């Protein structure tokens, strides 16, 4: 037997015994990797399948310019009158939503009891804890609403579908989207652009920010300031002699 230094006897142990005593680290690590990859693939598959079922939101359809101009809204209304079966109803719905800064759910829930045609007033009910208010109804809007009332004399809601029920927000969204395509708008549009168009139009006309806040039903005035900040006409008197 060859000589060995003290403490070096482990070098001459039986290889089979040493292998048998060693824990199977390699096998355990392989199993853990397989399980981890499999779990990750399963989670990715579930996320991928559920993402297809999500409905498109406003954020997905929003372009850099978040509002429409008066000329663009006129194009939508003209397109509705010429190419839609219920052209007057659709054009009036867009007009009322724009004139009063209504959200899709607010214009769809609008009822005739909120409208005083004889006095020219509209009682606006806001969602999202917004401030309710009473808006004036001008002559062009008054004539459109009177004609719509003659067409639908028995309905409680102002804007109803073929089945007699109120138009849903999804239906209004699709209506505006189709009209935008028919009017050959250069970008996709959605109903909330009508509310933004109202805010920017009134801000450009120089109306008071506090009055505009209550007109749009904002609880926080910071939501109204964004319209006045973007108004180009607020600098029109600068450097004028």
What positions carry a catalytic annotation? 103, 128, 192, 195, 218, 227
Positive or negative, the CA dihedral 79, 83, 85, 88 is positive
Q: For residues 217 and 213, what is the distance between their CA atoms, to the nearest angstrom?
A: 6
CB 158 within 8 A of CB 109: no
DSSP string, 198-223: HHHHHHHTT--HHHHHHHHT-SSTHH
Task: List helix spans (H) across the chain.
Answer: 15-21, 25-51, 58-61, 70-83, 87-100, 104-108, 139-151, 169-182, 192-204, 209-216, 222-229
The arrangement of strands across the sheet holding 133-136 comes to 115-116, 121-124, 133-136
How long a stretch of residues is the chain? 241
């Amino acid at each position: 037997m060859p000589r060995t230094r003290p403490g070096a006897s482990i070098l001459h142990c039986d290889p089979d015994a040493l292998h048998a005593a060693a824990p199977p680290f390699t096998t355990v690590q392989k199993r853990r990797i397989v399980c981890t990859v499999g779990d990750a693939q399963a989670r990715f598959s579930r996320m991928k399948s559920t993402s297809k079922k999500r409905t498109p939101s406003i954020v997905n359809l929003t372009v850099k310019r978040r509002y429409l101009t008066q000329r663009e809204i006129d194009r939508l209304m003209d397109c509705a009158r010429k190419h839609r079966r219920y052209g007057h109803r659709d054009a009036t719905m867009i007009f009322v939503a724009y004139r009063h800064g209504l959200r899709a759910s607010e214009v769809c829930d609008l009822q005739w009891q909120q409208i005083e045609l004889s006095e020219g007033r509209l009682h606006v009910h806001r969602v999202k804890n917004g401030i309710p208010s009473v808006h004036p109804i001008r002559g062009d809007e008054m004539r459109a609403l009177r004609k719509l009332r003659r067409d639908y004399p028995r309905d409680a809601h102002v804007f109803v579908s073929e089945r007699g029920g109120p138009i849903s927000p999804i239906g209004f969204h699709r209506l505006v989207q189709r009209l935008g395509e028919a009017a050959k708008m250069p970008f996709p549009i959605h109903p909330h652009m009508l509310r933004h168009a109202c805010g920017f139009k009134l801000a450009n006309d120089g109306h008071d920010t506090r009055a505009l806040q209550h007109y749009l039903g904002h609880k926080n005035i910071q939501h109204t300031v964004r319209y006045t900040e973007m108004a180009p006409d607020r600098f029109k008197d600068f450097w004028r002699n």
